[in-house]
């Protein structure tokens, strides 16, 4: 089947993926494979801009590859690779930096947020983060980039860099990418308050055992106004109900929606039902993951092969880029 175009997306290697990563990104990566020629990248070079993600880089890259493959990225069809395996991206980053205004980079909300988060480590790489991201996207002549809403300014920025480059060098070598927002979905952590994330330790790992999952789900914060089993609850403000709406069969969602309001069902029962549905949903993922864990060299081969296929595309683009720039 002819595909609609090329999709590219990347994520920093944060190790084992959680439910937020799955519902907010991975599920979408998997679905896009049916219609697009997909390139998915574990961006280890971007990870070096922050200290936490610099640690255990190799292990985290491997764990993330395991999760993406177990979730359904098909390496025979799509390219799954590690950013640093294609050094051309660093070269392109340098060239693109010459058509990028520094003031625009330092004005980006994502940069300002990083300054607040790590005032002691405002490194040069952090400023250039969106330029490297642009290099990732354009190196593979990507048409569509699926990302969360927080990354939208970066894609708009990439489009500007592409226009500047093509104009400066009077070329059409680079393609302006389109953003594709993943379903607007922000998964809240088990604290019922913040976005699910590993750093806040409010996450549920996809690779946990069913027992660990039940334990984590039991810790989920529900409607705070519901103190006792006999108090009626309000599902509209309960994160467990939100998760039921995403993962559970409609009849069960309807039942909880009614019964919670009249104290017909308690929070413990409601959470157990969610844990059961979640475990059922994750069963094939966990089976596939266990199989992959026992085939470490297969996973390394997938990444190696993906890197080679990605590099072949990158090298072609770089020939055009250097030619346009009149680099000998």
Which residues lie near ligand AMP (CB under 6 A)? 11-12, 14, 20-21, 24-25, 147-148, 185-187, 195-197
CA distances from 105 to 98, 223, 313 (A): 13, 41, 28
Q: Please tell me the total number of residues recorded for the chain in this structure.
A: 328
Which of ligand AMP, ligand TRP, none sits in contact with 96, Cβ below 5 to 8 A by type?
none
* Residue 38 makes contact with ligand TRP by CB under 6 A: no
The Cα 318–Cα 91 span in angstroms is: 9
Kindly state whether residue 141 participates in binding ligand TRP, applying the rule CB under 6 A: no
- Is 147 within 8 Å of 43 (Cβ atoms)? no
With binding defined as CB under 6 A, does residue 137 bind ligand TRP?
A: yes
- Cβ-based nearer residue to ligand AMP, 50 or 317: 50
CA distance 151 to 163: 19
Q: Which is nearer to ligand TRP, 99 or 179 (CB)?
A: 179
Residue among 24 and 307 whose Cβ is closer to ligand AMP: 24
Residue (34 or 149) nearer to ligand TRP, CB: 149
Separation CA 154–CA 179 (nearest Å): 10
Whole-angstrom distance, CA of residue 240 vs CA of residue 231: 17
Q: Which is nearer to ligand AMP, 208 or 317 (CB)?
A: 208
Long-range Cβ pairs for the range 281-289 (8 Å, 24+) = 281/247, 282/206, 282/213, 285/70, 285/71, 285/206, 286/70, 286/206, 286/207, 288/69, 288/70, 289/66, 289/67, 289/70, 289/206, 289/207
Asked if 145 touches ligand TRP (CB under 6 A), the answer is: yes
Nearest approach in angstroms of CB 28 to ligand AMP is 9
Residue 208 has which token pair?
A: 């946990």
Cα separation of 34 and 56, whole Å?
Answer: 33
What residue 266 binds from ligand TRP, ligand AMP, none (CB within 5 to 8 A, per partner kind)? none
78 in Cβ contact with 146 (< 8 Å): no
Separation CA 75–CA 38 (nearest Å) = 10
CB of 301 to ligand AMP, least distance (A): 25
Residues 149-208 that bind ligand TRP (CB under 6 A): 151
Considering the complex, state which of residue 50 and residue 222 has its C-beta at the smaller distance from ligand TRP: 50
Q: Which residue is nearest to ligand TRP (CB)?
A: 10
39 touching ligand TRP, by CB under 6 A: no
One residue of 88, 136, 205, 223 binding ligand TRP per CB under 6 A: 136
43 binds, among ligand TRP, ligand AMP, none (CB under 5 to 8 A by kind): ligand TRP
Q: How far apart are CA 241 and CA 221, in angstroms?
A: 11
- Identify which of residues 130 and 233 has a Cβ nearer to ligand AMP in the complex: 130
Regarding 15 and contact with ligand TRP (CB under 6 A), the answer is no
Note whether 28 binds ligand TRP by CB under 6 A: no
φ, ψ for residue 35 (rounded to 5)? -110, -20
Chain residues that interact with ligand TRP, rule: CB under 6 A:
8-12, 43, 46, 133, 136-137, 145, 147, 151
């Amino acid at each position: 089947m002819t595909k609609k175009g090329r999709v590219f997306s990347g994520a920093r290697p944060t190790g084992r993926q959680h439910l937020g990563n799955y519902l907010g990104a991975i599920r979408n990566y998997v679905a896009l494979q049916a219609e697009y020629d997909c390139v998915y990248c574990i961006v280890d070079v971007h990870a070096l801009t922050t200290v936490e993600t610099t640690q255990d880089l190799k292990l985290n890259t491997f764990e993330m590859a395991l999760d993406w493959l177990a979730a359904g990225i098909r390496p025979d069809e799509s390219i799954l690779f590690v950013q640093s395996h294609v050094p051309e991206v660093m070269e392109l980053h340098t060239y693109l930096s010459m058509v990028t205004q520094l003031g625009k980079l330092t004005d980006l909300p994502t940069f300002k947020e990083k300054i607040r988060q790590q005032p002691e480590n405002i490194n040069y790489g952090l400023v250039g983060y969106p330029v490297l991201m642009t290099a990732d996207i354009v190196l593979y002549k990507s048409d569509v980039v699926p990302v969360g809403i927080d990354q939208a300014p970066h894609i708009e920025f990439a489009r500007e860099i592409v226009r500047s480059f093509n104009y400066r060098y009077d070329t059409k070598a680079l393609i302006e990418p389109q953003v594709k927002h993943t379903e607007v979905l922000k998964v809240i952590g088990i604290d019922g308050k913040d976005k699910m994330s590993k750093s806040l330790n409010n996450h549920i790992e996809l690779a946990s055992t069913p027992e660990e999952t039940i334990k984590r789900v039991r810790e989920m914060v529900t409607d705070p106004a519901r103190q006792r089993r006999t108090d009626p609850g309000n599902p509209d403000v309960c994160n467990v109900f939100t998760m039921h709406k995403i993962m559970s069969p409609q009849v069960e969602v309807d039942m909880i929606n009614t019964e919670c309001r009249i104290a017909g069902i308690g929070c413990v029962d409601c959470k157990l039902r969610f844990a059961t549905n979640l475990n059922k949903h994750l069963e094939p993922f966990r089976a596939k993951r266990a199989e992959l864990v026992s085939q470490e060299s297969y996973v390394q081969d997938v990444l190696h092969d993906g890197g080679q296929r990605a590099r072949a595309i990158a090298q072609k683009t770089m020939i055009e880029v250097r030619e346009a720039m009149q680099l000998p």
